[in-house]
Structure 1
Amino acid sequence: MKKLFILFIAAATLFIYTGCGKSGSNKDPDYTCATCITKPEAKVANDASFKGVYKGVLIGSTGTIKFDVNNSGTTITATMTIDGVTTTLTATVIAQSGQNPAYISDFNGTLNGQPVTIKFSVGSGGQNPVVVSATVPGHTGITFVLVKETSTALIEAFEGTYETTKPESGTFNIILSRKLALWGALARKNGSTEVDNDANGTISGDNLVREGITIATISGDALAGEFTDGNNKKVTLNGKRTL
């Protein structure tokens, strides 16, 4: 896909910005994601196909997910990490060339000895990748945001937190492409079951920008920032790349 925002959830603003943002003091500036790649895994032959690599973040606890749909062979699997525990899920439907209108399959596996099922759907050209439903014991109400990686645009996932002087705190997980200069996020307040899935914006240099305001700055595999919301409360973000 040429424009990542087509795949990000775009709607209302998660925060209302009224003042200037600034880069924050990174809590771990020397952090490096040892398992993260630096070049796209996606093959050029799959750039306009339902085949390929799809990456995302999740909230319902916190974590990441990556789908491999025949990217470099016949493998169709999903690798999900939630609260630091990783599981590999296997598709039940074989992908066929010319899949129309969409490829849809359950991905089954186990997590902590319990059965897991994730239903994944994507359009024939790789558009609109979504998790239709998810059954993960101990993690109800999981929300995902997914993006298709292409051979020229690496997709990265950051897991993080936010705090405000309201006071309020919660999870803030970001999916982004530095190549396409776009980002999207999921957020959930601690103690709440509601997930905000409408935060998105652009990347200018190393800065995550929303409506002209810098909300965080990326430094290697970490990000941090501060800005003022519409209630004149300071919001602080911190995150680390995990995929």
Structure 2
Amino acid sequence: MKRFFLLLILGTLAFSCSSDSDSGPALSDTPLAKVEFDNSNFGIYKGVFLGSSGTVLININNDGTLSAILNIDGSSSTYTTTETATLNSAMVGLTFTNGSNSFDFSVTENGGDPTVSNINISGHPNATIKVLKEFHNVLAKCYVGSFSGDDSGLFHVVIVDAVVDGIAKSDDGVSAFNTDGTLIGTSITGVFEGGTFSGTSSGNQISGTWQNDFGESGSWSGTRKL
């Protein structure tokens, strides 16, 4: 009888460990950004990829290197550049490449208005990337998700402090559209062209509802991936 209970306990522990590992790697709650770069063009920028689904992490000399990690549908690729960056100077069109794939990164001298343009990723036409700057004491969190209801598609956002910035695209659409919102406590409110969305944040999950000017509505949800 004692052996039976021992085997039962061991089996339960093994199942628990397996379930934990299946949930994927743990996400860090510690910012990578360094305090000395909070008000400069240097530092860490994190964002979401739409044209399929994924995330991006751009390192502008946060640790002395210029690099980017793009994760699309679970496949990770490292991008580099032969160009240089100067502290406290605006960057326009810093090109990151990986083989024949590439994208340009631009940002102001104090880290404002980071943008990614001229995206050329094989197998992902009309791709869009939205990024925000991370701070030494404010983590940038990237959520990958979808929306459904009277319309359906992809819904990805980046949250830094109270700022909710993202991109979405209908399943039958060609171009992505921007989403802009705020996070107050656990409550999310925002707008997109021709509509609004609202919801809540709980742990690594976000979810809520949306509606547009045509009387269409539905729900949305996302899971933190970076």
TM-score w.r.t. the length of structure 1 is 0.76
Q: Which residue of 2 aligns with 1:62?
A: 53
SS at match of 1:48: coil
Q: Which runs of 5+ in 2 are unaligned?
A: 1-21
Q: Note the 1:46-61 alignment, pairs <5 A.
A: 46-61=37-52
Could you tell me which runs of 5 or more consecutive residues in structure 1 were left unpaired when the two chains were aligned.
Answer: 1-30
Q: CA deviation at 1:49?
A: 1.1
- The higher-RCO structure (CA 8 Å, 6+ apart) is 1
- Contact 1:202/1:208 (CA < 8 Å) preserved in 2? yes
Per-residue deviation at 1:40? 1.3
From 91, 101, 112, the equivalent of 1:127 is 112
Out of 201, 204, 207, the position equivalent to 1:221 is 204
Equivalent pair of 1:59/1:186 in contact (CA under 8 Å) = yes
Three-state SS of the structure 2 residue aligned to 1:63 is: strand
> What amino acid is the match of 2:190?
R
Aligned to 1:75: 65
Structure having the larger proportion of residues in helix: 2
Structure 2 residue aligned with 1:242 = 225
2:90 matches 1:107: no
Residues 136/237 of structure 1: CA separation in 2 closer, same or farther (3 Å cut): same
Map Cα deviations across residues 78-111 of structure 1 (whole Å, 9 max, x no partner). Answer: 0001122110101221223343x4254211114x
- What is the Cα deviation at residue 226 of structure 1? 2.6
What do residues 41-79 of structure 1 show as CA deviations (whole Å, max 9, x unaligned)? 11000011111001111211111111001102x211000
Contact 1:158 1:242 in 2 (8 A): yes
TM-score normalised to structure 2 length: 0.81
Q: Cα RMSD over matched residues? A: 2.1
1:156 aligned residue: 141
- Taking every aligned residue pair, what percent have the same amino acid on both sides? 28
Q: Secondary structure at the match of 1:45?
A: helix
1:188 aligns with 2:169: yes
CA distance in 2, matches of 1:48, 1:204: 23
Contact 1:57 1:63 in 2 (8 A): yes
Aligned residues: 201
In the other structure, the counterpart of 2:155 is 172
